[in-house]
Amino acid sequence: MSQTARLSAITVYPIKSTAGLSVSQAMANREGLVFDRRFVLVDDNGLFITGRQYPQLTLIKSAIIPVGMQISAPGMPTLTINYSQFTSQYEPITIWKDTIQAQYCYQEYDLWFSEFLGKPCHLYFYGDRSQRPVKKRPNDQVSFADGYPLLLISEASLIDLNCRTAEPIEMAQFRPNIVVNGTKAFTEDSWQQIKIGEVRFDVVSPCARCIFTTVNPSNATKSPLKEPVTTLANYRSDESHNIFFGQNLVALNEGIIVIGDSVEVIKTKAPAVYIDNAPIKRKPTQTTQQGNHSTTDIQLTCQRVIEETPTTKTFLFTSTERLPSYLPGQYLAIQPTINGQAITRTYTLSSSPSRPEHFAITVKREENGVVSNWLHNHLMEGDQITAQLPSGDFHLQRTNNNKLLLLAAGCGITPMLSILRWLTDRLENVDVVLIYSARSQADIIAYHELLLLAEQNPCFTLHITLTQPTQIPAWPGYQGRLNQAMLQQCIPDLAERAIFVCGSASFMEHCKTLSQQLGHGLTDYYEERFFTPQQTQEVATPKKSVSILFDSWDIMVKGDNQTPLLQQAEQAGVAIPYMCRAGICGQCKVKVVSGHYQRLADTPLSEEEKTDNVVLACSCLANSDLVINAI
Ligand code: FES
C-alpha cells in the first residue's frame, strides 16, 4: 500500500495549543515545519500554559502575514504580532522537563492573551538563540512541541478509531502536522523511514496521547464520554497504560512538502503490538480532510427518480447504513464525479426526517448547471453517489412560534415540502400557511402531494399563485406575482408569524420588502437561497485580470474579476475549507486584508464580520487586486 500513500493535509499550530492553520505546502526543517509551535504562552513562573488546563486556547486562531501573524479569538479584537516589535531578551521558560532560552515578545501581546485566558500570561518565541534537543536524539531539535518536531497520522487510522468510539472523533483533536491517505489503518506504525516530496523523515516513536485529545477544537469543550481516550485505552495502550495514536517524525533534511506528494516508505520495522479490547461498533465510513475541516462521507444509492415537472426531478436515495438524522429544511451536499472531477453541490432535502428510510432531493435542470444537468441526464436507479452529512441553519427548530408562514418560489418549495411533511406526519398542532409561487400549473412541484397534505392536515392552508397567464379557466388559486393584497388576504396575522422564505434572490428581496411593509419585524424571519452565487450576477462586468495574494498561504495568483475566490484559490492549490459552495454554510470564510471586492452572498456572516471584511470565498469576486488571509 505504501506506493499509493499520499500527503492529504498539512497543519501548523503557530502558538502551542492553539488552533491549527491548514496549509497546502510547508517547509520542513530540523525543528519541524516552519511556523509550527514557534510561539508559546507561559505563566508568571515561566511554566508553559497548555490546552490540557485551558481548552479555550484551541479557539485562538492565527494567520500568517508578512510582518508576523494576526491573532483572533471569540470576543477579542484582532491582534497583530509584528516580529519587529520583539524584544532581544532571552529568558528561561519550562516545557515539561526542558528549560529553554526563549525570546520574550512584547508586553502588549501579553495583555491580549491574559485578557482572553483570564490569567496573566506571556508570549515567547523560539528565536535564533533558542535550543531544545530532541529526547535521545541530541543532534536534532524541537521547538515548543511536546517532544518531537512532527506528528503524522493516516486517515485510515482515524476511520478505524471511529468504528469503535462512542462518538465521532475528528482528526483535528489529535493535532497532527501531516495526514496521509492511501494506507491501511495503522500502517504508519510499521514505518521507520519515509520520504515525502524532497524531505526524508525518521519515524521515531508512537505518539503518546493525553486528555487534550478529548477537547473539541471547534468549541473548546471536553467530551463527557472522555473519547477518544476511553476507546484508545482499550486497543492502543501498553502495559504502563500509556495510549498511542500517530507517529512522531524527525526531518532529516530541509525541504518543501506539498499536499498530494507521494509517501515513499524507505525502511520498515516491526510495529508495536497492542491488545485489542475495543469492539467494532459500526462499519467504516470514509473521512476526508479539507484543511481543518473534517467531514464524514456517506454512500447513497439512487432508489428512484420521479419526474416532477418538465424541468424538475426528485431523486430518492437509500443507504446500506442507517441514514443520518437531520432537521426539516436542512440541505445535503452531494459529490458526483463528473468527467473525472469530484464536484460538490448542495440541495435542500425535500424528504422529511419523519420518513427516515430515504433522503430526497428535488433538482431543477439549470441551463448551464453542470451538476443539475448531470443528475437529470445520468443518475439512474441503482447508481451510487457520495454525500456529506446533512447540514444548514434553515430549519424548523429555528423558531418556537407555532404560527408559520412559508413563502416559496419555483424550486424553493423543497425545504417547505420537508417542513410540511414533518408537521403533517407528526400531527403537530402548528398553524402553517404556504404561499407557493410557480410560473404555470405545469411548473408546480409536488402539486398533488401538496393538495393531499392540505387535506390531511387541518392546520395547513395552501395558496398557490401562477405568475404567468393561465389558460385554465377554473384555476382555483391566485394569479400574478406575490403582492401585498394577496398576503393581507391570505394571512391577516402575518406580523405574528415566523416566516420562512426560499426562492430566487429577487423573490427573497421582494418577500422581505412586503413583510416589512406589513409590519413584520424580520426577527423571526429565515431565508434560504437555492441559487448558486454566480447566478445572481445580473450585470455582466467586463473581464479584467487581477492579482490575488493568498497571504496566509504565501501564494500569489494571477486571477480575474469574474471567478469566485474559492475557485481561483483551488486552481492555485490553496486549500480553503468549503462545503456548500453556495454562500450558505459559512465554511469558506476568509478575510480581505486589502482591495475591493463584491459579495455575492453574505447570509452566514455576522454584522461584525461584514464590517471586518470577512467574505465567503465561494461567493466573492475580486474588483481589484486583493490580499486575502485565512481566519
Ligand atoms: S462553501 Fe458554504 S458558504 Fe462558501
First to last CA, the chain: 36
Domain 289-388 belongs to what topology?
A: Elongation Factor Tu (Ef-tu); domain 3 (2.40.30)
Q: Which one of 345, 580, 609, 610 would you pick to mutate in the ligand 1 pocket, going by the greatest count of ligand atoms within 8 A of its CB?
A: 580
Specify whether the backbone of 57 is left (phi greater than 0), alpha (psi in -120 to 50) or beta.
alpha
Measured CA to CA, the distance from residue 61 to residue 529 in angstroms comes to 30
Architecture of domain 545-630: Roll (3.10)
| Band of pLDDT at residue 626, cut at 50, 70 and 90 | very high
| Band of pLDDT at residue 284, cut at 50, 70 and 90 | low
Measured CA to CA, the distance from residue 528 to residue 503 in angstroms comes to 7
**Which atom of ligand 1 lies nearest, measured to the CA of 583?**
3
Q: Which one of 393, 605, 618, 631 would you pick to mutate in the ligand 1 pocket, going by the greatest count of ligand atoms within 8 A of its CB?
A: 618
Measured CA to CA, the distance from residue 525 to residue 500 in angstroms comes to 6
- DSSP labels, 223-240: -TT-TTHHHHTTTSB-TT
Distance 604 CA to ligand 1 centre (A): 9
Distance 375 CA to ligand 1 centre (A): 21
Helix (H/G/I), strand (E/B), else coil: 111: helix
Strand positions, DSSP E, 475-579: 478-479, 498-503, 525-529, 545-550, 555-560
| Band of pLDDT at residue 54, cut at 50, 70 and 90 | very high
pLDDT at 541: 64
Those residues with Cβ within 8 angstroms of residue 45's Cβ, 6 or more apart along the chain or in another chain: 94
Query: Quick one: average pLDDT of 98-113?
Result: 97
Whether residue 537 has pLDDT greater than 70 = no
- Return the closest-CA partner of residue 143 out of 154, 129, 132, 155: 132
Distance 17 CA to ligand 1 centre (A): 27
Number of other residues whose CB lies within 10 A of the CB of residue 609: 17
Distance 87 CA to ligand 1 centre (A): 41
Q: For the chain, give the longest Cα–Cα distance.
A: 91
pLDDT at 538: 37
pLDDT at 233: 94
Q: Which one of 346, 579, 609, 620 would you pick to mutate in the ligand 1 pocket, going by the greatest count of ligand atoms within 8 A of its CB?
A: 579
pLDDT at 322: 67
Distance 357 CA to ligand 1 centre (A): 28
Cα separations in angstroms, 128 against 101, 169, 359, 463: 10, 37, 57, 72
pLDDT at 173: 94
**Which atom of ligand 1 lies nearest, measured to the CA of 580?**
2
Query: Quick one: average pLDDT of 77-94?
Result: 95
Whether residue 38 has pLDDT greater than 50 = yes
Distance 407 CA to ligand 1 centre (A): 24
Q: Which one of 599, 619, 628 would you pick to mutate in the ligand 1 pocket, going by the greatest count of ligand atoms within 8 A of its CB?
A: 619
**Which atom of ligand 1 lies nearest, measured to the CA of 584?**
3
Which of 190-199, 221-230, 351-360 ranks highest by mean pLDDT? 190-199
Distance 393 CA to ligand 1 centre (A): 13
Question: Atom 3 of ligand 1 has which residue's CA nearest to it?
Answer: 583
Query: Quick one: average pLDDT of 402-425?
Result: 95
Distance 516 CA to ligand 1 centre (A): 28
Distance 574 CA to ligand 1 centre (A): 15
Q: Where in the chain is the domain with CATH 2.40.30.10?
A: 289-388
Q: Which one of 332, 570, 581, 621 would you pick to mutate in the ligand 1 pocket, going by the greatest count of ligand atoms within 8 A of its CB?
A: 581
| Band of pLDDT at residue 531, cut at 50, 70 and 90 | low
**Which atom of ligand 1 lies nearest, measured to the CA of 579?**
1
**Which atom of ligand 1 lies nearest, measured to the CA of 578?**
1
Q: Where in the chain is the domain with CATH 3.40.50.80?
A: 396-532
Whether residue 14 has pLDDT greater than 80 = yes
| Band of pLDDT at residue 291, cut at 50, 70 and 90 | very low
Least confident piece of the model among 66-70, 228-232, 235-239, 494-498? 66-70
| Band of pLDDT at residue 296, cut at 50, 70 and 90 | low
Stronger pLDDT, 2 or 49, i.e. the higher one: 49
Tallying the residues shown for the chain, one arrives at 631
Distance 588 CA to ligand 1 centre (A): 5
Domain 396-532 belongs to what topology?
A: Rossmann fold (3.40.50)
What's the angle, vertex CA 415, arms to CA 564 and CA 469, rounded to 5?
Answer: 90
- Cell numbers of 86, please? 520583539
Distance 579 CA to ligand 1 centre (A): 6
Q: Which residues line ligand 1 (CB under 6 A)?
A: 578-581, 583-588, 604, 616, 618-619
Helix (H/G/I), strand (E/B), else coil: 363: strand
Q: What's the whole-number average pLDDT of the chain? A: 89
Least confident piece of the model among 364-368, 388-392, 528-532? 528-532
- Return the closest-CA partner of residue 296 out of 576, 572, 579: 579
- Contact predicate 183/160, CB 8 Å: no
Q: Which one of 565, 578, 603 would you pick to mutate in the ligand 1 pocket, going by the greatest count of ligand atoms within 8 A of its CB?
A: 578
Q: Where in the chain is the domain with CATH 3.10.20.30?
A: 545-630
**Which atom of ligand 1 lies nearest, measured to the CA of 585?**
2
| Band of pLDDT at residue 285, cut at 50, 70 and 90 | low
Interface TM-score (ipTM) > 0.95: yes
pLDDT at 287: 44
Distance 353 CA to ligand 1 centre (A): 24
Distance 26 CA to ligand 1 centre (A): 25
- DSSP labels, 548-577: EEEGGGTEEEEEESSS-HHHHHHHTT----
- Cell numbers of 371, please? 451538476
> Bridge partners of 475?
none
Distance 221 CA to ligand 1 centre (A): 25
